[in-house]
Chain A
């Protein structure tokens, strides 16, 4: 269906079902239970899941297929955000033109940076992209302050022109919308002790993510994708066959940059603010982590990695000492304080530490990322059920690493 083979279709449908029912799946605990702390089904975080999923899918087209490790992808995310916010300020609060401009501008940006950076490969390419990204960050942070509003971040204000919207509701800031459907509109459905938030903004992001995912599947399975894999396995040999590989890598770079711009534009559409720190090298490093954590070169891996990291960032960072004390309240005072002291460095502001440990464990024991973990578990069950050791099936399933 849709030009996909059976396996990919199943995957696409699975992803579609997961994203469509995410508000329910991510809120497994009743609101009043102690576990409600771990619910992730609120609009902001769900939007981040799919938006950073798009970012990582795009990064994976470059890194997973060609093996070119870009350390400056956050620059495109930032450029996308700034373009989108400027569109909100100047043209209209409709998200469509904002997202289109975000994709377009980041594509042009990627073309320029890619044209220069792709003259080198390996570590030199990584350093070049990193340098470009840091340059963009510093420009946005101070030199280009009139355009980017520096550290404060670019925000909407009441006296923006917004040509198409005309004189909107005076006195309060307009909200982003898609032909009148407000991005922040949220339906809260209460079913017994459970509460689920169905957010319009989330579903817009999720549908775009599905489209982005479908496109990436098509790219992976296309002759173009095959050429990119050839670049990854041995670019020199490819060049010696008389083929110029640079147009292919440049195309992959630009596509990947446009994905990042799309993610940036969506971020700004959900929350109309663009800050320079979106372009910092830590943000570029984050998408590399997401892709590797989930499984580089696999279709679904980057999305899983993005979800994993965002979950830690938003849920673990909010567990403070108070919460810990309520968890361990049943224990005697001495043990309670002791346990809180032990756990304290790993939660709250220490979430980076926990994430770092998880990342190390994954890289050491599951070099193929979370996808490999899933495959191993799957294999375990299949071996128990059937007798056959499916070596061939394994070979076909190992990520294109």
Chain B
């Protein structure tokens, strides 16, 4: 041990002490002066769009991203303005949000909670995003919503259909425009009864995560209320791509209806497997065998092709709704027009909900006159609006869930073109799908208090 070694230790110590010394002082950082995380400067504001670009929900993610880009363009005064022209609130004038130009960053959730949180954290910490939006998997939405609550930014959920997002896992900083599994079940049950009768035996295949669980629970409860019997419920992994092993036992189980609680790529694969196994031509218990897909989308219909014909399900919104059901759903055509002009095809329901969420956020900030998450949350709570394509809608204060009409749809027999794969069976008014904040399926969580962060 020579003397020089001791100086090295000195160097090491000094380094550590200096590092700790830099880290420890608790003088207020820039964000703290304004009272909330990532307060935007005077010229621009950054939004974070966190969508699945890979994994089973990649198609939905791509469409969500298109809608976000369109929304930002419209907020900044580009394009034809889309739903800004039909929105019941008139405070948005195409000059960005509160006079600041809207910028955005994107990230890939990979349809995994972990990756989604990492991506959202980098948006908040590195890019200074003041609001995070996106989703396309309820597992991811719940995880990111929790993160946004802790970090003190607003989370505007995109496509997430689990009851838990605004139920057990609801958060004060999180808001959902999309409908949920309970609403799907409430809207579907009467239609199923009129289509297939009250004496049916249902076999459920369910995606094994929060959305699948709550949707299965909701559908089972609603169909049992009309007299159906639930034969079995089999959970399938989200990452599964081949469902033949799960489909094979269905025919001999005594069931005569198969309920596919799957979405996106999962549903395309499981439905294709079911059709290949001849389920649609089979007879069981003296009745025609039927398949039900409770949550539906045009993107899935496109993926499933002819297999989807005649299969009933529910949607948050459909691009044809204003043409078929009139001006109650104003905004739809304006949105389809500008989306179609930009991308060459009509938007999916995932795109619509993300577009609407971005506008709703911008509107709430403008009405509140501040980007402070608590002010924004207050502006959104109990807010009634119209003209975003869903008819009159309420953002309920008690759980941050939107209440609006639910569209019941069916795969179209003779589609006129590749975008016309879904026909609207009926629209269930919002009153019929409304539930209490403390409904048992949504119990067990609390909003907590809004967190403005720093």
Contacts and interface: CB of A to CB of B under 8 A. Distances in A.
> Do the two shown chains form a genuine complex with each other?
yes
Interface of A: 1-2, 9, 12-13, 16-17, 20-21, 39, 42-45, 48, 138, 141-142, 150-153, 155-159, 171-173, 175, 184-190, 197-200, 202-203, 206-207, 271, 273, 275, 277-278, 314, 317-318, 320, 322, 348-349
A158 B115 CA distance: 24
Given A44-B121, A151-B209, A186-B29, 9 more contacts: A1-B9, A20-B15, A20-B16, A172-B149, A184-B150, A187-B22, A190-B30, A203-B23, A317-B119
12 contacts: A1-B6, A16-B12, A43-B125, A45-B126, A151-B208, A156-B146, A171-B448, A172-B172, A186-B29, A188-B30, A203-B19, A277-B114
A101 to B, nearest CB: 20
Contact of B25 (A39, A138, A187, A320): A187
B5 A187 contact: no
Contacts of B451: 172
A45 B22 contact: no
A151 B235 contact: no
B143 A318 contact: no
Contacts of A150: 208-210
B335 to A, nearest CB: 21
Interface stretch (B77-85, B105-113, B268-276, B280-288): B105-113
A314 B169 CA distance: 27
B325 interface: no
Contacts of B12: 12-13, 16
B93 to A, nearest CB: 24
Contacts of A13: 8, 11-12, 15
A197 B143 CA distance: 25
B448 A273 contact: no
A187 B29 contact: yes
Contacts of A273: 113-114, 117, 143, 146-147
A203 B57 CA distance: 37
B397 to A, nearest CB: 15
A150 B20 CA distance: 38
Chain B interface size band reads 35 or more
Given A20-B19, A320-B106, A188 B31 contact: yes
A173 B22 contact: no
Nearest to B106: A320
Contacts of A172: 149, 172, 448-449, 451
A310 to B, nearest CB: 9
B113 A277 contact: yes
Q: Which of B1, B146, B235 has the most CB of A within 10 A?
A: B146
B240 to A, nearest CB: 11
Contacts of B448: 158, 171-173
B114 A275 contact: yes
* A2, A186, A318 — most chain B CB neighbours (10 Å): A318
B197 interface: no
Contacts of A42: 122, 125-126
Contacts of B6: 1
Interface string B413-454: 000000000000000000000000000000001101101000
Nearest to A19: B19
Contacts of A317: 107-108, 119
Contacts of A142: 208, 235, 237
Contact of B108 (A12, A20, A207, A348): A348
B438 to A, nearest CB: 15
4 pairs of A and B residues whose beta carbons are closest in the complex: A151-B209, A171-B449, A20-B19, A42-B126
A187 B25 CA distance: 8
Contacts of A185: 26
Contacts of A2: 9
Contact of B122 (A12, A44, A153, A190): A44
B53 interface: yes
Contacts of B446: 158-159
Contacts of A151: 113, 139, 208-210, 238
A20 B18 CA distance: 8
Contact of A153 (B11, B105, B114, B449): B114
Nearest to B447: A171
A273 B114 CA distance: 8
Nearest to B208: A142
- Name the residue among A155, A158, A207 with the largest chain B CB count within 10 angstroms: A155
A197 B146 CA distance: 23
A372 to B, nearest CB: 27
A76 B6 CA distance: 38
A206 B23 CA distance: 12
Contacts of A199: 23
A175 B8 contact: no
Contacts of A48: 118
A207 B19 CA distance: 10
Given A17-B15, A42-B125, A314-B122, A157 B445 contact: yes
B117 A271 contact: yes
Contact of A197 (B118, B125, B172): B125
Contacts of B26: 185, 187
Given A13-B11, A155-B146, A314-B122, A198 B139 contact: no
Given A172-B448, A348-B108, A21 B19 contact: yes
